[in-house]
């Protein structure tokens, strides 16, 4: 497994991750989130997205986290 910047992943792959856990986020929502926040993804050895995590800064000393998703196939390990 490797960690990559969330900007390096295609929107359709992020959308598939959120759909895999039953979340309603569309590709357009992911685009907005990437424009307003920062984040990382976990990728397997062939580049499949296994998880995500983002944070959204509110000034210089406060942030919120979101889009913390783990692929269902890893949730059973």
pLDDT of residue 55: 98
The domain total for the chain is 1
67-74: Cβ within 8 A, 24+ apart: 67/18, 67/25, 67/33, 67/37, 67/39, 69/17, 69/18, 69/21, 69/23, 70/21, 71/17, 71/20, 72/20, 72/21, 74/50
pTM for the complete prediction? Answer: 0.90
pLDDT tens, 25-61?
A: 999 999 999 999 999 999 999 999 999 999 999 999 9
CATH number at 19 reads 3.40.630.30
Domain limits for position 10: 2-75
- Of all residues in the chain, the percent with pLDDT exceeding 70 is 99
Is the per-residue pLDDT at 77 higher than 80? Answer: no
């Amino acid at each position: 497994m490797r960690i990559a910047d969330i900007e390096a992943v295609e929107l359709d792959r992020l959308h598939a991750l959120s759909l895999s856990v039953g979340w309603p986020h569309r590709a357009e929502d992911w685009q907005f989130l990437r424009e307003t926040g920062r984040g990382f993804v976990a990728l397997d050895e062939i580049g499949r997205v296994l998880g995500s995590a983002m944070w959204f800064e509110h000034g210089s000393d406060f942030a919120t986290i979101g889009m913390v998703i783990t692929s269902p196939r890893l949730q059973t390990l």
